[in-house]
């Protein structure tokens, strides 16, 4: 039996310039430098067109989304009333929601002239994510794994230029609902550019969309702005970072109890630390009480088909 | 003779009711009341006299009849067709024109020829006569509601000897015509005699309200007497006649609360939308001289627990929440007409003559009309307060044909 | 900042602004009239929180606040109520800033027992929203839920302390908590020269029993004016009471703040400009606003006006011993407000605004109109009144027959019942004051609702007693005739009519002075 000739469906293949040219022999294909990660240039996202687009996004869908998901209660905005010029907002970090929540909470005139320090390895992993981060939240890449001179220089240039900075000095989202120790970036930048640091405490977003959560579960959140801190004369970055951490811890205390009790404890040096008690993980969770982190929800049991 | 007569005509009553709903007093044009030419009433017996009215007042109960809203209660105790008018001063016919008399309109046992008299009339309390529909006369609780006697809104009526009170010399007709309403007011005022130090509140300052105010001042003498009066002329007169405080009806509750130091309910909703309405204490006695659902409700809301409401104004059929009456154990007392006043040992009409003279109640007559302008007269009476008047009356002194009768 | 001055009206002078309740009028004043313009706002302190802290740490005639604080002590912080400042200031309020600073120091010192009391005397209680506005959410949330932040109750016999009598026999009875505290910190806002000093505690935390000794006709008629402490019987009495309070061992740390007169927010700041300096924008705002307001329902218009928050802010803060502090404060108030005026006029005109100390978030009723015009504005003088004895006061206000039934229940009865009888303050005081002061229902509403005390309308009337005695007549332009007559004044439709009516009293060709306020000023009349 004679084998049937194989039927080959031939689609017309478009040639150059519709497809990539073949490289003539003897030539090396030039290596294109992909500038992502810490090297990503976010300059375009601060030009008027991008800023206006961001303004529309922020005041429209993002604000609505934040309200629907996190129902934020905002306190302490009056403490900012007396400030002017660029500020560094240093907040604790529970969730990806924190940045949009804070961007919609920070009062004018800082709200629309602010950049967010975002992890270069996460938010600038590839060009698409990087562009989205830069456009939507005005992110600038910061290396979190190592000290990197360029990202610090870039941030300080922006601060000098009158841009404010939102930074999460814990260097990442909380895994268990408790904070992590502060890194020195915010303090260092404040010292270097002589810009006041506003401690900010965010509560509740961990429950709504914490680290590891697959989908958000709407809830309530609370943002508390603190009194601006200025580095003392000859204060070192690490000491100042410690003060910022204490200030955020005091705000956490204020949000959990009330201002007066928080002040009393702060004056006695009894403010509960942000990092929670030492010990085994269940004890840490237990100590969180109602402020527990992301809750794994049991799949809803349906006793009857639902249409 | 000319007379204003009320006929029993259902369509006319219905029309009056509709017109009266548009504006009080309007029933006069379309209603059961018509100006007609009728024979003068015949004398029913030997003790009867013919009286030719000089002035004849328009009373609130007359207005109700004209507007077709009088209570069905009256139906068996009136007889059609009748000539209204029970506030009458007139000339006694057989005296040769020299004697003016005031009619005491209640048609008791004496007038009806019933002997022995009933319990009421026997005690000279004719207002409480048990025989108002019986005896030699057609049914009719008063002159002005009885087919046989005629009424004040005509050139002639007949009156029994017992109904006749001569007018003292020197009295104006205006003063004399106020004797009957003053007597009603005294009847009501004397039901407040045990008010003591309690506040007495008078709701309404029309003819009755003002007469009650004067009567309270003269015969009861309450320390504090507050009157709710809507119109400026009423306020002025109420003050002159002895009110210690005169306020607008809307603020009567406030004034009573202030005067009694009572607490109040219903003013504290935060938005301040509700006016103060209910008192927890209040006036010891409230005299309702209006007789509407609103006035009775107001009286109920400002009377003190265990207090008394005296209804002087004719009420008719009302829809009122009587829960406060029950919960606050309030006495509701009627004050219809007159007779004997055992508390003072005199007849109400005698007291009325005294009151009219002493308080100068003749000034309450603000306007008079001839019979043929009855529509205007009734409209004026219905809106008396707003138009700056108190008592409106028919003036029959210059009617044509009066002398010929 | 330019000082205040007196302008003589000539043919080129533009029409003059008159406040007119929730609206405005532009009136052309006769040539030769004089207009007293207030000084422009003083500059605000550059570092307010720094200044507050400095005042607490370096008080006058007193140890620094931290030295007065110790663990286990009883600390009471009293503060001025909703009647100050006018209009309410933007957040953060001066009281919040000062009290937060005080509490910070108290926390550092380990003080646990702290009470905060709104020193409102016989005023209405402050609502939660009003307390939050004055003190901020942090203080409210920390203290109110535990019952440590509350309104003073002058009718709570269990919580009043009788401290004694002055040498003139005046009884002194103030808040028990304040009297028994180890330290009373009083935080005030000194809007006008009348406020502050010993009046803060001796009036703000006192009961009727105590207040009646200086809130009466005789005192007010001998306070000329009550804006001038040294010629004010009101202040002499309060100072005597202050002495009794001090001798009773009550330790007061007084903190007084002064505001500039930056009264109206943009774009309505033209209301505090001189008319010839109104820009095109100012003029169009004026025209647009007046036109729009005329078409706005009363209720909406009121809520628009009542929501105005003034941009005024602190020009000074002083802390320490009451007398010493108050001297500095008064000097600062005078620096902002004094305008020199030569000679009195036959006629004084003024436009009354929508707000008085007693109708914040409320209705400006006719009695408050009287009090604002004849009480406050008439008394904005030192040495002698702006208008001569027997002269005429012309004020412009709609003066409607309306009351806030929750806030001013006793005012309604005062107006409906008493003013119909008499407008003579002495007669009112003698015959009726006590029955209103002791009325159980008013007492109940004052204590549990948001009502001014039963006796408060009398005080309003007494406030104008000096003016009633001094003036030959009062005319209200644009006022509801029935209401104005009930007040005992004369209504006029236009200013021209009013001037015509005034000449019947003061004779032809009268001299006229116009008080161009607010912003507030204090006329030094020589």
- Counted across chains B and C, CB pairs separated by less than 8 A come out at 46
**Which contiguous run of DSSP H or E holds residue C478?**
none
- B interface residues, C as partner, C-beta within 8 Å: 245, 247-248, 251, 254-255, 257-258, 261-264, 267-272, 274-276
Min Cα distance B319 → chain C (Å) is: 29
Reference C514, options C284, C304, C346, C374; nearest CA is C346
Residue C69 belongs to what domain range?
48-259
pLDDT tens digit sequence for A57-91: 999 999 999 999 999 999 888 888 888 899 999 99
Mean per-residue pLDDT of chain A? 83
Distance CA C333, CA C314 (A): 11
8 Å CB contact of B248 and C417: no
Reference B397, options B158, B180, B165, B152; nearest CA is B152
Q: Tell me, yes or no, whether C379 and C251 share the same domain.
A: no
Q: Tell me, yes or no, whether C398 and C512 share the same domain.
A: yes
The chains in contact with chain B, meaning 3 or more Cβ pairs closer than 8 Å, are C
Distance CA C93, CA C189 (A): 10
Helices A259-268/C128-143 angle, 10° precision: 30
Are A91 and A248 contacting, i.e. CB atoms less than 8 angstroms apart? yes
C107, C114, C134, C135: which to substitute to probe chain A, counting the most A Cβ within 10 Å?
Answer: C107
pLDDT for B97 equals 61
pLDDT tens digit sequence for A189-248: 899 889 999 999 998 888 888 888 888 888 899 999 999 999 888 888 889 999 999 999
pLDDT for A22 equals 72
C299 vs B contacts (CB less than 8 Å)? none
pLDDT for C328 equals 95
Are B300 and B285 contacting, i.e. CB atoms less than 8 angstroms apart? no
B212: helix, strand or coil: helix
8 Å CB contact of C416 and B251: yes
Question: Residue B154 pairs with which residues in a beta bridge?
Answer: B3
Q: Which residue of chain B has the CA closest to C421? A: B245
Q: Is the pLDDT of residue A177 over 90?
A: no
CATH number at residue C108: 3.40.50.11440
For residue C274, count other CB atoms closer than 10 A to its CB.
17
Q: Is the pLDDT of residue B270 over 50?
A: no
Q: Is residue C363 part of a domain?
A: yes
8 Å CB contact of C406 and B270: yes
Q: Is residue C271 part of a domain?
A: no
Provide the CATH number for the domain formed by A37-285 in this structure.
3.40.1130
8 Å CB contact of C416 and B257: no
Reference A46, options A151, A135, A160; nearest CA is A135
C313 vs A contacts (CB less than 8 Å)? none
Lowest mean pLDDT among A302-306, B390-394, C90-94, C135-139: A302-306
Residue A81, chain C, CB below 8 Å: the answer is: yes
A96: helix, strand or coil: coil
Tokens encoding B209: 């309200």
Q: Is residue C304 part of a domain?
A: no
Q: Tell me, yes or no, whether C120 and C249 share the same domain.
A: yes
Q: Which of C412, C417, C449 sits opposite B268 (nearest CB)?
A: C449
Q: Is residue C449 part of a domain?
A: yes
Q: Tell me, yes or no, whether C254 and C390 share the same domain.
A: no
Q: Tell me, yes or no, whether C68 and C26 share the same domain.
A: no
8 Å CB contact of B272 and C407: yes
* C283 contacts: CB under 8 Å, gap ≥ 6: C270
Are A205 and A99 contacting, i.e. CB atoms less than 8 angstroms apart? no
Residue A254, chain C, CB below 8 Å: the answer is: yes
B271 vs C contacts (CB less than 8 Å)? 406
Q: Which of C96, C107, C141 sits opposite A264 (nearest CB)?
A: C107
Residues constituting chain B = 405
* Residue-range domain boundaries for chain A: 37-285
pLDDT for B402 equals 81
Min Cα distance C412 → chain B (Å) is: 9
Domain finish residue from C220, C241, C259: C259
Reference B227, options B264, B191, B189, B197; nearest CA is B189
Tokens encoding B148: 């046989």
Q: Which of C405, C440, C449 sits opposite B261 (nearest CB)?
A: C440
Mean per-residue pLDDT of chain C? 94
pLDDT tens digit sequence for A144-173: 766 677 788 888 899 999 999 999 988 888
Q: Is residue C78 part of a domain?
A: yes
Distance CA B158, CA B52 (A): 9
pLDDT for B96 equals 61
What is the average pLDDT across C23-29? 92
Q: Is residue C519 part of a domain?
A: yes
Distances (CA, A) of C364 to B404, C357, C367, C460, C516: 69, 10, 8, 12, 20
Residue C417, chain B, CB below 8 Å: the answer is: yes
Lowest mean pLDDT among A2-6, A138-142, A226-230, C222-226: A2-6
Distance CA A148, CA A153 (A): 9
8 Å CB contact of A81 and C49: no
Output the CA angle C30-C31-C33, nearest 5 degrees: 75
Q: Could you please report the per-residue DSSP string of B382-403?
A: HTTTTTT-SEEEEE-TT-TTTT
Min Cα distance B270 → chain C (Å) is: 6
Q: Which of C412, C444, C450 sits opposite B263 (nearest CB)?
A: C444
Segments of C228-288 assigned E as strands: 252-259
Distance CA C374, CA C380 (A): 10
Q: Is residue C155 part of a domain?
A: yes
Residue C194 half-sphere exposure, CB side, CA atoms within 13 Å? Answer: 24
What is the average pLDDT across C35-57? 94
A266 vs C contacts (CB less than 8 Å)? 107
Tokens encoding B270: 């935060």
Q: Tell me, yes or no, whether C347 and C235 share the same domain.
A: no
Tokens encoding B194: 């045990």
pLDDT for A153 equals 85
A227, A260, A265, A269: which to substitute to probe chain C, counting the most C Cβ within 10 Å?
Answer: A260
Reference C38, options C316, C335, C327; nearest CA is C335
In angstroms, the first-to-last Cα distance of chain A is 58
Are C17 and C271 contacting, i.e. CB atoms less than 8 angstroms apart? yes
pLDDT for A6 equals 57
Question: Residue B265 pairs with which residues in a beta bridge?
Answer: B278
Q: Is the pLDDT of residue A11 over 90?
A: no
- Counted across chains A and C, CB pairs separated by less than 8 A come out at 42
8 Å CB contact of C405 and B267: yes
Q: What percent of chain C shows pLDDT beyond 90? A: 91
pLDDT for B271 equals 43
Q: What percent of chain B shows pLDDT beyond 90? A: 60
Min Cα distance C459 → chain B (Å) is: 18
A254 vs C contacts (CB less than 8 Å)? 138
Mean per-residue pLDDT of chain B? 89
Q: Is the pLDDT of residue C507 over 50?
A: yes
Q: Which residue of chain C has the CA closest to A80? A: C92
A267 vs C contacts (CB less than 8 Å)? 107-110
Distance CA A139, CA A124 (A): 9
Where does the pLDDT of residue C102 fall: very low under 50, low under 70, confident under 90, or very high at 90 and above? very high
pLDDT tens digit sequence for B272-305: 444 567 889 999 999 999 999 999 999 999 999 9
8 Å CB contact of C441 and B261: yes
Min Cα distance B240 → chain C (Å) is: 14
**Which contiguous run of DSSP H or E holds residue B16?**
helix B10-22
Q: Which residue of chain B has the CA closest to C402? A: B272
Output the CA angle C68-C72-C74, nearest 5 degrees: 65
For chain A, what is the radius of gyration of the CA atoms? 24
Segments of A101-182 assigned E as strands: 114-119, 139-142, 164-167
Distance CA C498, CA A136 (A): 65
Where does the pLDDT of residue A41 fall: very low under 50, low under 70, confident under 90, or very high at 90 and above? confident
What is the average pLDDT across C108-120? 93
* C404 contacts: CB under 8 Å, gap ≥ 6: B272, C359, C362, C363, C365
Q: Tell me, yes or no, whether C68 and C15 share the same domain.
A: no
Q: Is the peptide bond before B93 cis (omega within 30 degrees of 0)?
A: no
Are C442 and C436 contacting, i.e. CB atoms less than 8 angstroms apart? yes
The chains in contact with chain A, meaning 3 or more Cβ pairs closer than 8 Å, are C
Q: Tell me, yes or no, whether C24 and C89 share the same domain.
A: no
Are C449 and C406 contacting, i.e. CB atoms less than 8 angstroms apart? yes
Output the CA angle C205-C209-C215, nearest 5 degrees: 80
Between B15 and C372, the more confident residue is: C372
Q: Is residue C324 part of a domain?
A: no
pLDDT tens digit sequence for C206-222: 999 999 999 999 999 99
Lowest mean pLDDT among B196-200, B240-244, B293-297, C255-259: B196-200
Output the CA angle A28-A32-A33, nearest 5 degrees: 140
pTM above 0.80, yes or no: yes
**Which contiguous run of DSSP H or E holds residue B288?**
strand B283-288
CATH number at residue C516: 3.90.226.30
pLDDT tens digit sequence for B310-343: 999 988 888 999 999 999 999 999 999 888 888 8
pLDDT for C365 equals 95
Q: Which residue of chain B has the CA closest to C363? A: B272
Number of domains in chain C: 2
Distance CA A11, CA A28 (A): 30
Min Cα distance B114 → chain C (Å) is: 54
Measured torsion, CA atoms of residues C163, C169, C170, C173, in degrees rounded to the nearest 10: 20
8 Å CB contact of C107 and A258: no
Q: Tell me, yes or no, whether C34 and C147 share the same domain.
A: no
pLDDT for B275 equals 58
Domains, chain B, in order of start with CATH, read 2-167+370-395 (3.90.180.10), 185-336 (3.40.50.720)
What is the average pLDDT across C50-75? 95
What is the average pLDDT across C188-199? 93
Q: Tell me, yes or no, whether C20 and C99 share the same domain.
A: no
Q: Tell me, yes or no, whether C33 and C63 share the same domain.
A: no
8 Å CB contact of C441 and B262: yes
Interface confidence (ipTM) of the complex:
0.83
8 Å CB contact of B268 and C406: yes
Lowest mean pLDDT among A211-215, B175-179, B344-348, C116-120: A211-215
Min Cα distance A256 → chain C (Å) is: 11
pLDDT for C81 equals 94
Q: What sections of C248-357 are H helices per DSSP?
A: 280-294, 298-306, 322-337
Residue B105 half-sphere exposure, CB side, CA atoms within 13 Å? Answer: 33
pLDDT for A303 equals 56
Reference C193, options C526, C525, C523, C522; nearest CA is C522
Residue A263, chain C, CB below 8 Å: the answer is: yes
Distance CA C229, CA C368 (A): 23
Helices A63-70/A98-105 angle, 10° precision: 110
C53, C99, C138, C149: which to substitute to probe chain A, counting the most A Cβ within 10 Å?
Answer: C138
Q: Which of C92, C108, C142 sits opposite A261 (nearest CB)?
A: C142
Q: Tell me, yes or no, whether C140 and C34 share the same domain.
A: no
Residue A62 carries which DSSP code?
I
Backbone phi and psi for residue A131, each to the nearest 5 degrees, phi listed first:
-65, -40
pLDDT tens digit sequence for B157-206: 999 999 999 999 999 999 999 999 999 999 999 999 887 788 999 999 99
8 Å CB contact of C107 and A260: yes
């Amino acid at each position: 039996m004679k084998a049937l000739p194989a039927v080959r469906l031939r689609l017309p293949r478009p040639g150059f310039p519709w497809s990539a040219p073949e490289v003539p022999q003897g030539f090396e294909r030039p290596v294109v430098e992909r500038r992502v990660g810490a090297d990503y240039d976010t300059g375009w996202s601060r030009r008027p067109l991008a800023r206006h687009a961001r303004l529309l996004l922020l005041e429209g869908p993002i604000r609505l989304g934040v309200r629907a998901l996190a129902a934020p209660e905002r306190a302490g905005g009056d403490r900012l009333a007396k400030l002017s010029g660029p500020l560094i907002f240093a907040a604790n970090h529970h969730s990806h929601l924190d940045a949009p929540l804070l961007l919609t909470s920070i009062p004018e005139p800082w709200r629309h002239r602010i950049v967010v320090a975002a992890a270069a390895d996460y938010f600038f992993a590839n060009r698409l994510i990087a562009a989205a981060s830069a456009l939507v939240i005005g992110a600038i890449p910061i290396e979190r794994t190592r000290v990197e001179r360029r990202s610090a220089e870039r941030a300080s240039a922006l601060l000098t230029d009158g841009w404010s900075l939102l930074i999460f000095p814990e260097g990442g989202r909380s895994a268990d609902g408790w904070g992590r120790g502060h890194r020195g970036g915010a303090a260092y930048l404040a010292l270097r550019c002589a810009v006041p640091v506003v401690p900010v405490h965010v509560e509740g977003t961990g429950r709504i969309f914490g680290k590891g959560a697959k989908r958000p579960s709407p809830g309530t959140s609370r943002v508390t702005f603190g009194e601006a801190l200025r580095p003392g004369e000859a204060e070192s970055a690490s000491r100042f970072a410690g003060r910022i951490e204490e200030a955020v811890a005091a705000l956490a205390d204020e949000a959990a109890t009330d201002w007066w009790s928080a002040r009393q404890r702060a004056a006695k040096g009894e403010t509960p630390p942000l990092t929670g008690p030492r010990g085994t993980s269940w004890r840490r969770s237990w100590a969180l009480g109602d402020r527990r982190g992301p809750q794994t929800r049991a799949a809803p049991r349906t006793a009857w088909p639902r249409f | 003779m000319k007379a204003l007569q009320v006929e029993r005509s259902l369509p006319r009553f219905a029309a009056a009711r509709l017109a009266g709903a548009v504006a009080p007093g309007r029933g006069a044009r379309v209603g059961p009341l018509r100006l007609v030419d009728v024979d003068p009433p015949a004398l029913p017996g030997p003790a009867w006299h013919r009286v030719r009215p000089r002035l004849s007042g328009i009373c609130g109960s007359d207005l109700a009849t004209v507007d077709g809203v009088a209570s069905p209660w009256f139906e068996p105790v009136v007889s059609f067709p009748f000539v209204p008018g029970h506030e009458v001063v007139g000339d006694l016919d057989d005296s040769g024109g020299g004697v003016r008399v005031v009619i005491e309109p209640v048609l008791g046992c004496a007038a009806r020829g019933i002997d022995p008299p009933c319990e009421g009339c026997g005690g000279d309390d004719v207002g409480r006569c048990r025989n108002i529909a019986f005896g030699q006369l057609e049914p009719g609780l008063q002159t002005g509601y009885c087919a046989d006697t005629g009424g004040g809104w005509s050139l002639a009526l007949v009156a029994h000897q017992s109904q006749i009170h001569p007018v003292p010399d020197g009295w104006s007709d205006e003063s004399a015509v106020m004797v009957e309403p003053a007597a009603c007011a005294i009847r009501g005022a004397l039901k407040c005699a045990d008010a003591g130090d309690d506040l007495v509140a008078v709701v309404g300052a029309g003819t009755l309200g003002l007469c009650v105010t004067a009567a309270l001042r003269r015969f009861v003498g309450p320390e504090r007497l507050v009157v709710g009066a809507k119109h400026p002329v009423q306020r002025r007169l109420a003050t002159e006649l002895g009110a210690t405080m005169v306020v607008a009806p809307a603020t009567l509750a406030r004034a009573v609360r202030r005067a009694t130091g009572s607490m109040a309910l219903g003013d504290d909703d935060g938005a301040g939308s509700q006016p103060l309405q209910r008192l927890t204490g209040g006036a010891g006695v409230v005299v309702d001289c209006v007789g509407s659902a609103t006035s009775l409700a107001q009286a109920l809301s400002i009377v003190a627990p265990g207090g008394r409401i005296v209804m002087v104004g004719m009420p008719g059929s009302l829809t009122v929440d009587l829960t406060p009456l029950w919960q606050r154990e309030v006495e509701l007392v009627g004050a219809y007409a007159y007779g004997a006043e055992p508390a003072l040992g005199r007849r109400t009409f005698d007291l009325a003559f005294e009151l009219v003279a002493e308080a100068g109640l003749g000034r309450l007559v603000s306007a008079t009309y001839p019979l043929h302008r009855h529509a205007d007269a009734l409209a004026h009476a219905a809106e008396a307060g707003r138009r700056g008047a108190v008592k409106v009356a028919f003036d029959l002194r210059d009617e044509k044909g009066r002398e010929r009768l | 900042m330019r000082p205040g001055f007196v302008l003589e009206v000539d043919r080129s002078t533009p029409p003059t602004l008159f406040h007119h309740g929730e609206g405005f009028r532009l009136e052309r004043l006769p040539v030769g009239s004089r207009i007293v313009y207030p000084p422009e706002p003083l500059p605000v302190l550059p570092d307010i929180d720094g200044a507050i802290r400095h005042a607490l740490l370096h008080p006058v005639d007193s140890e620094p606040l931290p030295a007065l604080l110790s663990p286990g002590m009883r600390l009471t912080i009293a503060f001025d109520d909703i009647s100050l400042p006018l209009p309410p200031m933007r957040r953060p309020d001066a009281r919040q800033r000062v009290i937060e600073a005080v509490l910070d120091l108290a926390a550092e010192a380990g003080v646990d027992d702290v009470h905060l009391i709104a020193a409102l005397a016989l005023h209405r209680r402050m609502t939660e929203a009003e307390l939050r506005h004055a003190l901020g959410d942090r203080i409210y949330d920390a203290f109110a839920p535990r019952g440590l932040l509350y309104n003073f109750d002058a009718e709570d016999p269990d919580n009043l302390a009788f401290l004694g009598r002055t040498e003139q026999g005046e009884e002194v009875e103030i808040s028990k908590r304040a009297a028994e505290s180890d330290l009373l910190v009083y935080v005030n806002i000194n809007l006008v020269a009348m406020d502050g000093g010993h009046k803060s505690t001796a009036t703000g935390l006192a009961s009727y029993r105590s207040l009646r000794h200086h809130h009466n006709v005789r005192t007010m008629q001998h306070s000329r004016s009550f804006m001038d402490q040294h010629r004010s019987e009101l202040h002499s009495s309060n100072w005597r009471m202050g002495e009794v309070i001090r001798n009773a061992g009550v330790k007061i740390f007084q903190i007084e703040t002064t505001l500039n007169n930056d009264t109206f927010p943009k774009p309505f700041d033209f209301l505090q400009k001189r008319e010839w300096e109104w820009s095109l924008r100012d003029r169009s705002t004026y025209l647009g606003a007046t036109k729009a307001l005329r078409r706005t329902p009363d209720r909406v218009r009121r809520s628009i006006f009542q929501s105005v928050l003034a941009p005024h802010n602190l020009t000074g803060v002083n802390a320490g011993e009451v007398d010493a502090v108050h001297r500095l404060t008064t000097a600062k108030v005078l620096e902002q407000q004094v305008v020199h005026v030569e000679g009195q006029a036959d006629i004084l005109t003024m436009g009354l605004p929508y707000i008085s100390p007693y109708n914040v978030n409320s209705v400006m009723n006719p009695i408050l109109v009287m009090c604002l015009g004849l009480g406050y504005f008439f008394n904005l003088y030192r040495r002698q009144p702006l208008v001569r004895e027997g002269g005429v006061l012309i004020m412009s206000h709609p003066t409607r027959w309306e009351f806030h039934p929750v806030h001013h229940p006793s005012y309604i009865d005062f107006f409906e019942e008493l003013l119909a009888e008499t407008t003579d303050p002495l007669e009112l005081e003698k015959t009726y004051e006590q029955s209103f002061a002791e009325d159980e229902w008013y007492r109940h509403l004052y204590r549990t609702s948001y009502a001014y005390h039963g006796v408060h309308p009398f005080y309003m009337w007494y406030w104008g007693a000096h003016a009633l005695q001094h003036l030959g007549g009062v005319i209200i332009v644009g006022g509801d005739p029935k209401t104005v007559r009930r007040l005992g004044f004369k209504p006029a439709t236009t200013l021209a009519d009013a001037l015509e009516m005034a000449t019947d009293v003061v004779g032809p060709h009268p001299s006229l002075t116009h008080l161009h306020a607010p912003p507030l000023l204090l006329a030094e009349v020589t």
